[in-house]
Structure 1
Amino acid sequence: MKRFSKIKRLATVCLIGATLLGVAGGTVSAEKNKFSYSFNIKANYGNDYSKEYYRQTTNLNNRWMVDLQSSTEGDGTYTTFWLDKSGTRVSEPHDVKQGSGRHLYKAYSTANKKYVRLGGENNNYSSNTYTATGKWDEEGW
């Protein structure tokens, strides 16, 4: 009976220790930030950029997110977005339709563990300028 009680206490101590290690030594996960952006989309493919944020992931499946909520160019129009690091694209550019909701896209490995920003431009060569606003996140998870 004493032997069973010792084993039970030892198992309880191990379980508590494992739980504490799991909490204290757990992995850091990315936050869902959903930063606001307001771009002045320039004429003739002129670029505009958001503030930089740290992309802490190393997982290429952790996609970045953009949501084009409004555009003074008009409802249902398109703006091109990409992830940028110091003037270098670190994702493919993507045309996003105003009002179409969240879109998740893969980043290049060169975006991992780096400060990145959202880049935007008119999706077609035009002398018009407009304002595009919405939300974005450097990591979708």
Structure 2
Amino acid sequence: MGELKSEVGVRESERELLFETYKLHTELAERVASLREDVNKLYVSMTSGVIAASVLLQKLVQDGEATWVLPVLGVTVTVSWMSSLHSVTGRLSGKHHALVELESKLGINFFTREREEFERGRFLKRKHTALVLPGTFFLVCVGWLVVMIL
């Protein structure tokens, strides 16, 4: 006996498999979003360490010979931070695209509707706002290094 077809033209067994895949991708997308927060926590801790080390080094070293290391370290940390955020954001974007594709096959539209509402609200994209803090720290460190050189 043939399987029943749903309203979007997918057989019921295929629909169940697609729905399980959809649930898995939703969970994986949540994990990637959580990973982004973990990346931020790690790098905020690292930049706090650079700031603390700079204060300590200023008090311990009178001639300023070794202090150039800290802005270079700060630049390195922030470039790594921005690269990590770019990677995680790209993975999350890929997960959302896969979810939207699965939604079209399942006849549901949670992520599609969320994206439409987001775009209608003209919010800044998360990948851009996520770079504000590391970008600011990067500019501070570059400025710090320039001041030390001049």
Normalised to the residue count of structure 1, the TM-score between the two structures is 0.30
Bigger helix fraction: 2
Question: Relative contact order (alpha carbons < 8 A, sep ≥ 6): 1 or 2 greater?
Answer: 1
Structure with the larger strand share: 1
